Structure 1
């Protein structure tokens, strides 16, 4: 394979051995909309414990300074610690900010629940840990604004839950960076009050929704609901009252224990509380953590609460193995294999390598995508999450089944996206020309696609091909 010139380096895919500041890249770990994450060690200390380095895609991206400011305020075991911030000078002369944080060896939350037969009390324990992290953030005036399952890692060492990706976070002194009605976030996890605000002020370009702690708690509720049911909560359609004001009936989604009878009814009630249409009914992170911790201490439950993927019927043998698993010593529990996830990672890594090796040396475009299907979910990262801070005009969260049926709209190109030539061809034969833009088709679904800023169209995820000659200055044109 022809060795790449230093001038061809792309911040989204640095090869091992690249030096960024005083750090040496060991491996590429994943990416989101605004940055890529690498496993790095100090230069000349190859055997040192690794840390995570998050590098900006765009030169002088101001999001990184705000994220560093926010993370410097946080001291909690459920949040990666910030070690350093700096700027990496690309051989072409541009400066790209970077952040260095704790490397977290963990499994994305939704993968974790699929890999481990769990009891409701174990789910309660993990949710309680996440609520405690939010309690700490909210006490400092910090709002995460993108809480979701794949911005959560469960540490392999002790089973502790860690919230990652603070690229969308905000605190009272933070600089406003986006001029949109709604702040960055993932549509399916947005609170009803945020969605109603966007409807009520759809014709007011100056209106700005200010997310608060209740928004984070709703997002945690969506995360919990999907964790135990495999579905998204679904509410009634909005309507206009007699005065023409948009309203939403307090129609609760189906209780989690109805969709999954192995879920404890008390846990189900706490999850529904987080999903209350009225934000004041959700309570505080402290109150939710107290309730969840009490459920986690319940000694009477020994019934597995594992969720069958996408609603499939549970295998009876799986239940037997689950019961046996629950009686294993704690040390053995930590040794449950995660080879399935690793196999997917290897497969997608092979696809990336094949793409990079086979492509001709075209300088004008580069595919910015994830190497590891198991390392990126909803924009999250293995080791350290990076925001898939997508926004959408979609009014309300929909279930996964409805989401699949609504992918017949042509994907809208990004500003700065590579365009087909006059003959309608893109720079590479594996790229697809759609709706005036060049796209890379990938075998991803739903939030996995969205986490890479991709868009679903007729069952296929299309990830934008960004032109190196024109750096994008905003998110997709379709966003509000």
Structure 2
């Protein structure tokens, strides 16, 4: 009788009881493209309070060393505390770095807002905490570079927010991991100056945008805007002057209070400040934190009423799976040129068709936020984020499949006429492309599905790939 071989360990889905360094896995808790998160306890004290153990899916992933280094430099009540780090050896011999941080009994920011329907006062307090966390980072010369709702966890009490996922961070003298025009991050949260830089220099392979603390503050503004309106802010159309320099007049989207009258004037003003196209007008993280804390001290009815009336229907969040880093629950927004700017260089390099990204039309703007912004060239090393992916959401259920990524979107994306096909061996021409449904695609994280309005399948975005000789269709690609 043949003996059944035990299933091979998968870093993305370790079973309970697996030893990782001096820790024992208790339960799967979440995951992203680069890492999986587990609830774990010490091997020598299994009655101890659980911690969050993040394990790299790829061997020797340098993102984890970057996150360990930054967390070891910064200690703040609104940043998870680093407890341990090391390397786990797979039975096949590959080495996967891991780190252990405090377990947060909470939910991602946007999930929390839907469940608890906070007031402007509560939002101001949480934003102030995040601004204080950024203040601590910036004081050390560090940048987060991927501030967004999916990287913010709110304790179930609603009184404490933590800024998470430092795999995309930057600290002084950090080594360059993956050179590209822009640092790592999520397109919908990129600052105007970063997007203008890519529009200006996307044809220059040596150009590097140097992220600044104000980029983190703009991303915090986008997070706040989406939190209170359910939409992302849209840029006005950029213009080019006689010298060939791209400029931006402002933000074309309405002020938050115009979309949601329940937003208190104080919160509305601070969100607009963070979304200014002039970086210096955003101020510093400390200045914003002080302003938010002062505004939250008042108890006016506009500050204390819920931002979301009880009678409004609330979409139910799908269960978390290893690929479901941040379930999409807000109304779909309409994009103009932002995603094309933020992804122009990537799409050209991979030969991807950008037609899907520009679907829909933008509503007529009711206000323009900020003043003109220009672009200047700089240098910076870049890295890729790990993705906490609701890492410590205690309500996450452990998957019962041996393969990560089981979502409701179980229909493969529909091929587009003229799309590139894999060769006879089923391989696509570029290592970052995958063969799916008889065609070649570029796979993106779920957060970008919402940002770029792309079709999803098993929790991931898919962009069709065409031959590099195909004429580009996006505005940035046709500009000199």
TM-score (norm. length: structure 2): 0.71
The corresponding residue for 1:435 is 439
Corresponding residue number in structure 1 for 2:21 = 21
Pair 1:463 & 2:460 matched: yes
The answer (yes or no) to whether the contact 1:31–1:376 under 8 Å persists in 2 is no
Q: Find the counterpart in structure 2 of residue 5 from structure 1.
A: 6
8 Å Cα contact 1:404-1:459 kept in structure 2: no
Assess if the C-alpha contact under 8 Å between 1:113 and 1:306 holds in 2. no
1:232-283 deviations in whole A, cap 9, x for unaligned? Answer: 0111121211122211113453111111111111210110010000101100
Per-residue Cα deviation, 1:201-238 (whole angstroms, up to 9, x for no partner): 11211111111100000000000000111110111121
Q: Give the match's secondary structure for 1:167.
A: coil
Give 2:406's aligned residue: none
For residues 144-190 of structure 1, give each alpha carbon's deviation from its aligned partner in whole angstroms, at most 9, with x where no partner exists: 00000110011124620100000000011211111101010000000
1:414-429 aligned at under 5 Å gives the runs none
Range moving further from structure 2, 280-289 or 23-32: 23-32
Could you say if the C-alpha distance between residues 183 and 432 of structure 1 is closer, same or farther in structure 2, counting changes exceeding 3 Å? same
Retained in 1: the 8 A contact 2:12–2:57? yes
Partners of 1:55 and 1:218 in 2: CA distance:
30
Are the counterparts in 2 of residues 59 and 97 from structure 1 also a CA contact under 8 Å?
A: yes
Deviations 1:64-109 (A, max 9, x none): 1111111101110101111111111100011111111111111111
Give yes or no for contact 1:225–1:256 (8 Å, CA) kept in 2: yes
Q: Secondary structure at the match of 1:79?
A: coil
* Matching of residue 175 in structure 1 with residue 164 in structure 2: no
Q: Secondary structure at the match of 1:99?
A: strand
Mapped partners of 1:287, 1:261: distance in 2: 26
The 8 Å contact of residues 124 and 267 in structure 1, kept in 2 or not, is answered as yes
Distance 2:436 2:5 in 1: 25
Confirm or deny: 8 A CA contact 1:189 1:218 kept in the other structure: yes
**Matched position secondary structure for 1:72:** helix
CA RMSD of aligned residues (A): 3.7
Does the 8 Å CA contact 1:150/1:377 hold for their aligned counterparts?
no
Q: Are 1:155 and 1:161, in contact at CA under 8 Å, matched by a contact in 2?
A: yes
Secondary structure at 2:198's aligned position in 1? helix
Unmatched runs of 5 consecutive residues or more in structure 2: 329-340, 346-355, 362-412, 428-434, 463-476
What residue is the counterpart of 1:130 in the other structure? 130
* Contact in 1 for aligned 2:446/2:459 (Cα 8 Å): no
Q: Tell me whether 1:301 sits opposite 2:298 in the alignment.
A: no
Q: Does the CA-based 8 Å contact 1:117-1:305 persist in structure 2? A: no
Give the alignment of 1:442-457 within 5 angstroms. Answer: 447=447, 449=449, 457=454
CA distance in 2, matches of 1:4, 1:266: 62
Contact persistence 1:456–1:462 (CA under 8 A): no
Q: Is the 8 A contact 1:145 1:168 kept in 2?
A: yes
User: Which segments of 5 or more consecutive residues in structure 1 lack a partner in the other structure?
Assistant: 309-313, 320-337, 350-368, 379-390, 396-400, 414-418, 425-430, 466-479
2: CA distance, partners of 1:98 / 1:112? 27
- Structure 2: how far apart are the matches of 1:249 and 1:150? 29
SS in structure 2 of the partner of residue 436 of structure 1? strand
CA distance in 1, matches of 2:456, 2:62: 35
CA contact (8 A) 2:446 2:460 kept: no
* Equivalent in the alignment of 2:350: none
TM superposition shift of 1:18: 1.0
Per the normalisation by structure 1, the TM-score is 0.71
Structure 1 44/33 Cα, relative in aligned 2: closer, same or farther at 3 Å?
A: same
Q: CA deviation at 1:461?
A: 6.0
* Counterpart in the other structure of 2:331: none
Shift of 1:460: 5.1
1:75 matched to which residue of 2? 75
Distance 1:127 1:177 in 2: 30
CA contact (8 A) 2:36 2:57 kept: yes
**1: CA distance, partners of 2:243 / 2:415:** 33
Deviation at 1:116, TM superposition (A): 1.2
Does the CA contact (< 8 Å) of 1:113 and 1:307 recur in 2? no
Aligned residues: 380
Secondary structure, aligned partner of 1:96: strand
* Residue 154 (structure 2) pairs with residue 150 (structure 1): no
